[in-house]
Structure 1
Amino acid sequence: MITEGVFKANDIRGAVPQSWDEAGAAAIGAAFVELAGLEGKQFVLGRDMRLTGWEMSRAFAAGAISRGAEVLDTGLASTDQLWFASGSLDLPGVQFTASHNPASDNGIKFCQAGAAPVSPDFLARLRDRALELHGSVDAALPEHGLTQVETLDDYVRHLHGLVPLEGLRHLKVVVDAGNGMAGHTVAAVLAGADIELVGLYLDLDGSFPNHQPNPLEPENLVDAQAAVREHGADLALVFDGDADRCFIIDERGEVVSPSAITALIARAELEREPGATIVINTITSRTVADVVAEAGGTTVTSKVGHTFVKALMAEHDAIFGGEHSAHYYFRDFWGADTGMLAALHVLRILGSQDQPLSEVMHTYERYVASGEINSQVSDAGEVMEVVEAAFIGRGEVDHTDGLTVRGTDAHDNLWWFNLRPSNTEPYLRLNAEALDPAVMQAVRDDVLDLVRGTTTT
Structure 2
Amino acid sequence: MNPSIFRQYDIRGVVEQDLTSPVTIKIGRAFGSYIRRRGGKSVIVGGDNRLHTRSLCKRLIGGIRSTGCDVIELGTVPTPALYFADIELDADGSVQVTGSHNPAEFNGFKLSHCHASVFGENIQELKRMIEENDFVNEAQGKYEEKEIMSDYQDMIVGKVKLERPLKVALDAGNATASLIAPRVMRALGCEVVELYCEPDGTFPNHHPDPTVPENLVDLIALVKETKADAGIAYDGDSDRIGVVNEKGEILWGDQLLALYAREILAEGPAPIIFEVKCSTALIEDIRRHGGKPVMWRTGHSLIKKKMKEMNSPLAGEMSGHIFFKHQYYGFDDAIYATARLLRIMAADKRPLSDLLSDLPRYPSTPEIRIDCPDHIKFEAVNRILDQFKQTHQVIDVDGMRVLFEDGSWGLVRASNTQPVLVLRFEAKSEERLQAIKKEIEGKLCQIVDMLR
TM-score, normalised to structure 1, is 0.90
- Provide the residue aligned with 1:113 in structure 2: 114
Q: How has the CA–CA distance of structure 1 residues 454 and 123 changed in structure 2, closer, same or farther, with 3 Å as cutoff?
A: closer
- Provide the residue aligned with 2:410 in structure 1: 417
Shift of 1:88: 2.1
- Provide the residue aligned with 2:26 in structure 1: 27
- Provide the residue aligned with 2:166 in structure 1: 171
Superposition pairs for residues 45-64 of structure 1, below 5 Å? 45-64=45-64
List runs of 5+ in structure 2 lacking aligned partners.
Answer: none
**Does structure 2 conserve the Cα–Cα contact (< 8 Å) formed by 1:15 and 1:105?**
yes
Shift of 1:237: 0.5
**Does structure 2 conserve the Cα–Cα contact (< 8 Å) formed by 1:40 and 1:68?**
no
Distance in structure 2 (CA, Å) of the matches to 1:383 and 1:62:
41
SS class of match (2:410): strand
- Provide the residue aligned with 2:128 in structure 1: 128
SS class of match (2:122): helix
**Deviations, residues 25-55 of structure 1 (Å, cap 9, x unaligned):** 2221111111122777212111111112222
**Does structure 1 conserve the Cα–Cα contact (< 8 Å) formed by 2:29 and 2:135?**
no
**Does structure 2 conserve the Cα–Cα contact (< 8 Å) formed by 1:97 and 1:108?**
yes
**Does structure 2 conserve the Cα–Cα contact (< 8 Å) formed by 1:33 and 1:39?**
no
Distance in structure 2 (CA, Å) of the matches to 1:86 and 1:330:
17
Which deviates more, 82-91 or 31-40? 31-40
**Does structure 1 conserve the Cα–Cα contact (< 8 Å) formed by 2:81 and 2:149?**
yes
Find the partner of 2:399 among 399, 402, 415: 402
Shift of 1:3: 3.2
**Deviations, residues 289-318 of structure 1 (Å, cap 9, x unaligned):** 222212212222211111211111010111
SS class of match (1:209): coil
Find the partner of 2:369 among 366, 371, 374: 374
**Does structure 1 conserve the Cα–Cα contact (< 8 Å) formed by 2:241 and 2:320?**
yes
Please give the root-mean-square deviation of Cα atoms over the aligned residues, in Å: 2.5
Q: How has the CA–CA distance of structure 1 residues 177 and 383 changed in structure 2, closer, same or farther, with 3 Å as cutoff?
A: closer
1:156 and 2:153 matched: yes
Find the partner of 2:236 among 214, 237, 241: 241
SS class of match (1:369): coil
- Provide the residue aligned with 1:325 in structure 2: 319
Q: How has the CA–CA distance of structure 1 residues 390 and 337 changed in structure 2, closer, same or farther, with 3 Å as cutoff?
A: closer
Shift of 1:427: 3.3
Shift of 1:437: 3.1
- Provide the residue aligned with 1:439 in structure 2: 432
**Deviations, residues 75-109 of structure 1 (Å, cap 9, x unaligned):** 11100111111122222211111101222222110
Distance in structure 2 (CA, Å) of the matches to 1:9 and 1:363:
37
- Provide the residue aligned with 1:350 in structure 2: 345
**Does structure 2 conserve the Cα–Cα contact (< 8 Å) formed by 1:39 and 1:68?**
no
**Does structure 1 conserve the Cα–Cα contact (< 8 Å) formed by 2:33 and 2:135?**
no
SS class of match (2:201): coil
**Deviations, residues 126-158 of structure 1 (Å, cap 9, x unaligned):** 1222344499999xxx7x711122221221232
Q: How has the CA–CA distance of structure 1 residues 110 and 80 changed in structure 2, closer, same or farther, with 3 Å as cutoff?
A: same
**Does structure 2 conserve the Cα–Cα contact (< 8 Å) formed by 1:26 and 1:137?**
no
Shift of 1:425: 4.3
Q: How has the CA–CA distance of structure 1 residues 453 and 15 changed in structure 2, closer, same or farther, with 3 Å as cutoff?
A: closer
Distance in structure 2 (CA, Å) of the matches to 1:3 and 1:389:
34
**Deviations, residues 353-401 of structure 1 (Å, cap 9, x unaligned):** 22221111222344222121233457553576357536744x4222211
Q: Percent identity?
A: 32
- Provide the residue aligned with 1:13 in structure 2: 12
SS class of match (2:248): coil
- Provide the residue aligned with 1:93 in structure 2: 94
What amino acid is aligned across from residue 310 of structure 1 in structure 2?
Answer: K
What amino acid is aligned across from residue 270 of structure 1 in structure 2?
Answer: L
SS class of match (1:248): strand
Shift of 1:70: 0.8
List runs of 5+ in structure 1 lacking aligned partners.
Answer: none
Which deviates more, 282-291 or 235-244? 282-291
- Provide the residue aligned with 2:383 in structure 1: 385
**Does structure 2 conserve the Cα–Cα contact (< 8 Å) formed by 1:71 and 1:147?**
yes
Distance in structure 2 (CA, Å) of the matches to 1:35 and 1:259:
36
- Provide the residue aligned with 2:43 in structure 1: 43
What amino acid is aligned across from residue 14 of structure 1 in structure 2?
Answer: G
**Does structure 2 conserve the Cα–Cα contact (< 8 Å) formed by 1:39 and 1:67?**
no
Shift of 1:424: 4.4
**Does structure 2 conserve the Cα–Cα contact (< 8 Å) formed by 1:23 and 1:134?**
no
Distance in structure 1 (CA, Å) of the matches to 2:2 and 2:137:
16
**Deviations, residues 149-198 of structure 1 (Å, cap 9, x unaligned):** 22212212322343223x22x32211111110000111221133332211
- Provide the residue aligned with 2:103 in structure 1: 102
Distance in structure 2 (CA, Å) of the matches to 1:391 and 1:117:
33
- Provide the residue aligned with 2:302 in structure 1: 308
